[in-house]
Structure 1
Amino acid sequence: MRTILVLALACLITSTAVAAAPSTSTGRVSVAQLFDLSQRSKTDGAAHGTLVAYLFAVGETVGILADEAKQRGFPLECQRTFTLSEDAAMHALRMAAPDQSAWAETAATPIIVADVLARAGCD
């Protein structure tokens, strides 16, 4: 089942990648890209699908990495469950990268991952 989900997400991301704004010069998803997708997602189904797939993938990956860390003996204690929404992600990006002129070269994923861990109260 998990394999099918991963393949479906990969297809969704691949088919909607054309709708996404440019990423950073190093190929990472940029803050600018996510704000562009968020704005366009209100009227553009492809942009909405891309944003949802990205956020789902980030959230799923944080959970998997946390589980792996625990299984391998790395101390990771969290007070709450992991949560991620478009609003939470956009808020985290605004707080961590307030200078819009830097958005095109600021990687979004590390900011969102750090926010998910912080909101869950992880040590």
Structure 2
Amino acid sequence: MRRALPKQPCVYLLASAPNGVLYVGVTSDLPGRVSVHKRDLRDGFTKRFVVHRLVYYEMHETMEAAIRRETQIKKWKRAWKVRLIEQMNPEWRDLFDETWGAVEVGPADRERLRE
């Protein structure tokens, strides 16, 4: 299931592969930002280490809240980040559909939406 996301503050995690290199970021335009990462339009960590797979995201009401959460997650141990990803996306699927430029609802969210 794809979902057109309105611009909203968001924390996201990218991975190079399942259990690979992780990147934590914040944006107000998740589809646009992931597209930039995937096309390597900016030099930096994700381009250097080929970190393009969207494996986790969470929306926030304000950018300030999203930045606080990003800062918190960046300080976490890797095992905690992996656990967070696997709660939403146990198969480490890429949640970004490049064909449509849309973010897929994570597997954990699909169950909630059915209820």
- Tell whether the structures are fold-level matches, with TM greater than 0.5: no
Q: Which has a greater percent of strand?
A: 2
Q: TM-score, normalised by structure 2?
A: 0.32
Q: TM-score, normalised by structure 1?
A: 0.31
Q: Which has a greater percent of helix?
A: 1
Higher-Rg structure is 1
